[in-house]
Amino acid sequence: MVRTIRLTAAQAMVKWLSVQMTEDGERFIDGMWAIFGHGNVAGVGEALHAYRDVFPTWRGQNEQTMGHAAIAYAKAKKRTRAQAVTSSIGPGATNLVTAAALAHVNRLPILIVAGDVFANRRPDPVLQQVEDFDDGTISANDCFKPVSRYFDRITRPEHILSALPRALRTMTDPANCGPATIAFCQDVQTEAHDYPEAFFEPRVWHIRRPAPDAGELARVAGLIKAAKNPVIIAGGGVVYSQAEAVLADFALKHQIPVVETQAGKSSLAQAHPMNFGASGVDGSAAANAASVKADLILGVGTRFQDFTTGSRTLFSEGAVLVSINIHGYDAAKHGAVSLVADAKVALEALAAAIGDYKVEAPDTGAREDWLRAVDAYCARPDDQAALPTDGQVIGAVQRATGENAVAMCAAGTMPGALKLLWQPSQGGYHMEYGYSCMGYEIAGAMGIKLATPQREVICFVGDGSYMMANSELATAVMRRIPFTVVLTDNRGYGCINRLQTLGCAGEAFNNMYADCAIEAQPEIDYVAHAAAMGAHAVKAAGTDQLEAEIKAARGRTIPTVIVIETTAKDFPGVGLKTTAGSHGFFWDVAVPAVSDRQKQRDRYAAYIEQIANQSLVN
């Protein structure tokens, strides 16, 4: 006879989650972020309370930013652990859609438990219920379907017996990893069922490492041995596979330069002799020169996003594109020769297959020229009263921190500047640039610190992103989670303003506060605002004071916010050059074909010439 235990569906869910383990003996789902509403407080809320001693619950300020914190945690843990987020129905659920999209694009695990409408439909329409006039099965949670790797709607209490294992199977699958959404009907959460006791036995989730197909491996090994100027593009898959050391040895032994994507940056320390820096649109002169010269490009764990490939203009015609990726979808992009496998396993197998193959040493002079140019650009400004550039701010933070620091960001000016200029130790960089989501930064910094409490976390955020989502500062204060926020205030959306005026030859409009339809220039006191949430907040008068405040923050148990005004005009995207040439590459941002202004007509003509160089192979 099957032994059973009678629980509500929500109680059974939480009890089951509390015994899902990693190979290291930790809970795979570390705990659950929660904001309660009528759609989850009676069911999920009561269950979380009942199991609070074995499965923690944390209260945030906004569902989206709770999701961001959970995603950053999973990214910092290299996808070996994750967190869950629960919401009520309606706006609480749809607030999480952006976080789900962010996780989906970045291939990161998060469990979303969104309250849903009544399965029995007796009280329809309930408060916050979205009704479809033609389909009675639709709710607001259907918005999650295109941005979830797994989606299920729980309309009977026994559904969790299959839904929850499927959700974690997705989250622990290195190829299909991403957000799993459980739309949990609010009446079903509270319904009782006799669940098999065996369902609650602890389970260990193993993250597999698929080996390459022998034929694919032989084909790729042959292509590499025939190459005279190969380049490796290191993507996020290197990090998630924990292949950093293998990549470092592989590149050094075979003398192959490595260039980095946003997700792959810091898989090699900047000090590694084969690390030539950032690739593509926001890439270094040394990296892009090596990529243009390459006769074989070996992508390792990268999606070949447009910033990485210069919108498909970076690689020379005739260059062979090879892609090592855990998922066949990504491995076959841009007509690449595929090697579908775990990055670490694939590199180890390739190393054995190509033996003593070694190319002529790459142009390390170009790399050294580039790094010298970065040092000069980021150097301490003589005039501390003048508004510093973003590069000078980055330089100040770099000087004030050590190898223990992790620089993180998500959107605006800083992602491109940090990718170009920050010189990390191995693992010292965390960027959300798959979705480039403004508002990720502060919540993300909190998630990183939770995942890696031993590291100093530096959050770079612009005034625009800060205004979008800052409230998790209060959560970090309440939970005593210390990290340092460097808030660069350029009085508007400086990054998109440059794209508008320089990249697209448009007129400055609706980005900087000075160019908006307003009656008065806003004077926002960011120091007072952050302090009101309990953070230690200060305004730095220049980069010297910024350095001092970075160092002082290390002794605190709460977040520190350092505000510094910067100039929006100067940026390495238009100013930084080396003896090897200016950095950066084409980015395809469409330009209007019709304009009454000559400069935009000229820009359109140049744009047409540039897109003619794009590879159209898919």
- Whole-number Å distance between alpha carbons of 80 and 616: 36
> What does the pLDDT look like over 14-72, one tens digit per residue?
999 999 999 999 999 999 999 999 999 999 999 999 999 999 999 999 999 999 999 99
Q: Rounded CA gap, 238 and 78, in Å?
A: 10
- Write down the domain spans for the chain: 4-204, 214-366, 390-569, 592-618
- CATH number of the domain located at residue range(s) 4-204 in this protein: 3.40.50.970
Distances (CA, A) of 111 to 119, 321, 441: 21, 35, 20
CATH of domain 390-569: 3.40.50.970
485 forms bridges with which residues in the sheet? 459, 561
Average pLDDT over residues 376-380: 94
Domain 214-366 architecture? 3-Layer(aba) Sandwich (3.40)
Q: Which of 518, 517, 465 shows the shortest CA–CA distance to 495? A: 465
**pLDDT score recorded for residue 572:** 65
* pLDDT interval class at 458 (50, 70, 90): very high
Q: What's the Cα-to-Cα distance from 94 to each of 140, 434, 472, rounded to whole Å?
A: 7, 20, 18
Q: Do domains 4-204 and 390-569 have the same CATH topology?
A: yes
Residue range 314-325: average pLDDT?
Answer: 95
Q: Does the structure show a pLDDT above 80 at 618?
A: no
Whether residue 579 is predicted with pLDDT greater than 60 in this model: the reply is no
Mean residue pLDDT across the chain: 95
The residues, any chain, with a CB within 8 Å of residue 267's CB and separated by 6 or more, are 234, 238, 239, 243, 244, 247, 260, 426
Is the predicted pLDDT of residue 578 greater than 60, yes or no?
Answer: no
Judged against a pLDDT cut of 50, whether residue 109 lies above it is answered with yes
- pLDDT score recorded for residue 582: 52
pLDDT for residue 77 is more than 60: yes
- Mean pLDDT along residues 449-453: 98
CA–CA separation, 257 and 241 (whole Å): 20
C-alpha–C-alpha distance, residues 597 and 208, integer Å: 57
SS3 200: helix
Q: Is the dihedral of CA 258, 260, 263, 267 positive or negative?
A: positive
Phi, psi angle pair for 410, to nearest 5°: -150, -45
Q: What is the pLDDT of residue 247?
A: 98
Residue 574 has pLDDT above 60, yes or no: no
Give the integer Cα–Cα distance in Å for 456 and 406.
6
Q: Chain centroid to CA 585: how far?
A: 22
C-beta of residue 359 within 8 angstroms of C-beta of residue 296: no
Degrees to nearest 5, angle at CA 240 with 238 and 243:
40
For the cut 80, the answer to whether the pLDDT of residue 145 exceeds it is yes
The pTM of the full predicted model, rounded to 2 decimals, is 0.96
Q: Where are the beta strands (DSSP E) in 135-279?
A: 150-154, 179-185, 192-196, 203-204, 230-234, 258-260, 275-278
Token pair in block for residue 185: 């009907």
The position carrying tokens 């219920």 is 129
